Amino acid sequence: MDIDKNLERVKQVKGLRWLNRLRKRTEEIPEWASTFHPERLPCQMEGDELYGGFNLCQKVVFTNNEAWIIRFPIAGKTSEAHLDEKVAGEVATLRLLHERTNIPVPKVMAWGLAIDNALGLGPFIMEEFIQGESLKNILREEAEGSMLLRNDLDDKEVEIIYRQLAQFTLQLFDLNFSQISGLPFASTHGRRPLTVTAHEIIRLGGVDVLGPRSEGFSTTKEYFDHVVEQHWRQLLGQLNSVEDEDDARQKYIFFRVLKSLTDRHVWPEYNEGPFKLICDDLGLANMIVDSREKLKITGVVDFEWSYTGPAQLLGTAPWWLLQERPELWDFTPDMRARFLRHLGLFKRVLEEEEKHAPEYQSRELSKLVERSETEGTMWYHMVLQGFFHGPGSLPWEQLKDHTPDWDLLASGIPEEDIRSFVAAKMEHLKLHDERLKKTETTYDEMLAGKWSIQGFIDEVEAPYKHAAEIPEEGIGSSVAAEMAHLKVHDGMAEKDGDHP
């Protein structure tokens, strides 16, 4: 599934505007950072800016040689509505892990919401600087843009890394919670988690899939139904969620069948808890090691998109075994074999780590990982935790293969519903492409000075902000009526000035 190209252009413009603001305030960063030091010591910036998937980082060194890293969420990489929440959740997670585990997470030295940033650059976190090399760059393929684990790595090197991740996972599994909720806990009832899946659908799909957030979830089934519904709402609401008629048919059938699979993949003994700390984006790319030779993990960073969630999302085959997210891979027998071989290696080292520690003699975690593979539930987990899925991806195809009656379930979907959906999505696709032409014309006019930056952003975003809410009920036999609710206004916003 592709991202909305109109929103992609807006995110690009927002990011460049924010970077320009940063450039104008760069010289003020050392003095500003010093106000957060306990002794208000002077500091200076050291090294180049570091860019991650969601953040820009800058190292500062104080006169006592103490080093911090300052993390700013990059505008456009995080939706404006969730900037503060993203940072507050990460701080809560880091502090929890620092207090209750031995996982080498950086100590939070200072942090603040957007309103607390005197430089006007949004929320921020200041952490102790961890010396070392990024494991991501050591492990990745040489191909441009690829995050896939290098094929020439020796199994002994992979085992060194997996063993440390197994130790971290065991510690995470020791943490128990009574509800499924975002962090920090807003109340005794919690709140719906801001997952990376929901966030990316909102940011790049233009569909608000979070819904009311005043309370969390008390069972795994409730939560899984909620996540399936998020994918469903994206399919219905994102204008270009399909590529053509055949793609629309395949996706409609897939997500209709997916709606019926929750009961099969909820493990009853864990349905009501205890729940675990789930870190959606935690993987090999988040690790800092001492050297390429020793591969000892000295730091684990980037804990945005963390929440308390179902135990089986932690007790499952990790998506990060080959470093890259599985929904990015086209299904091939070789890729499946490669993933399963690395899963076998991880399971072995996890079992060995359990045997070495008296408190893990029950082997609860390794048994769950094995169960997720045997029952095929690991593919269900990957589908739920992924985003922008499409036919042919590894998790997609493997979930179908591990559902013996998939074809029977698919055959029960009324053909009328499928045809109505396909017809409606073809209209959506035309609307997306029409908007894209307007967006690109307006973008060129902005570059020529005919639109302010904020005016361009408002112009493109206005139809998405005015879009009708998607009804909670499924399409069923009323597909035509429901799709009518998904029509997005094509009105234009007024041109106005740029608001920094």
pLDDT 10s digits, 263-296: 999 999 999 999 999 999 999 999 999 999 999 9
204 and 350 assigned to the same domain: yes
Is there a domain that residue 496 lies in? no
Which pLDDT belongs to residue 188?
56
Closest to 78 in 3D by CA, of 132, 127, 123, 137? 123
Is there a domain that residue 429 lies in? yes
Category of 305 on φ-ψ map: left (φ > 0), alpha (ψ -120 to 50) or beta = left
354 and 423 assigned to the same domain: no
Is there a domain that residue 42 lies in? yes
434 and 367 assigned to the same domain: no
Is there a domain that residue 272 lies in? yes
pLDDT tens for 237-271 read: 999 999 999 999 999 999 999 999 999 999 999 99
288 and 152 assigned to the same domain: yes
Q: How are beta strands 287-289 and 133-134 bridged, if at all?
A: antiparallel
313 and 457 assigned to the same domain: no
Confidence label for 474 from pLDDT (cuts 50, 70 and 90): very low
Closest to 158 in 3D by CA, of 380, 342, 414, 368? 342
Report the 10 Å Cβ neighbour count for 81: 13
Is there a domain that residue 497 lies in? no
Domain closes at, from 412, 435, 455? 412
- Strands, E assignment, 153-242: 181-182
Is there a domain that residue 9 lies in? yes
Domain region containing 169: 135-412
Question: pLDDT above 90 covers what percent of the chain?
Answer: 82
Domain closes at, from 412, 427, 444? 412
321 and 382 assigned to the same domain: yes
pLDDT tens for 167-187 read: 999 999 999 999 999 988 655
491 pLDDT above the threshold of 90: no
394 pLDDT above the threshold of 70: yes
Q: For the chain, how many helices (H) and strands (E)? A: 17, 11
List all residues 6 or more positions away from 284 whose beta carbon is below 8 Å from its beta carbon. 135, 136, 139, 149, 161, 165, 320, 323
Give the residues across from 60 on adjacent strands. 45, 68
pLDDT tens for 420-465 read: 999 999 999 999 999 999 999 999 999 999 999 999 999 999 998 8
Which pLDDT belongs to residue 450?
96
198 and 107 assigned to the same domain: no
452 and 424 assigned to the same domain: yes
Confidence label for 143 from pLDDT (cuts 50, 70 and 90): low
20 and 161 assigned to the same domain: no
Domain closes at, from 412, 431, 466? 412
- The separation between CA 226 and the C-alpha centre of its own chain, rounded to angstroms, equals 16
List all residues 6 or more positions away from 238 whose beta carbon is below 8 Å from its beta carbon. 1, 4, 201, 205, 206, 207, 428
45 and 143 assigned to the same domain: no
CATH number at residue 99: 3.30.200.20
428 and 402 assigned to the same domain: no
Rounded mean pLDDT, 222-235: 97
Amino acid identity of residue 41, one-letter, is L
- Strands, E assignment, 84-136: 108-112, 124-128, 133-134
Is there a domain that residue 500 lies in? no
Distance, in Å, from the CA atom of 105 to the CA atom of 287, rounded to the nearest integer, reads 10
Closest to 68 in 3D by CA, of 97, 107, 94, 102? 107
Is there a domain that residue 477 lies in? yes
89 pLDDT above the threshold of 90: yes
337 burial via Cβ count (<10 Å: 0-12, 13-18, 19+): exposed
Domain count, the chain: 3
Q: What is the DSSP letter of 72?
A: E
CATH number at residue 362: 3.90.1200
181 and 225 assigned to the same domain: yes
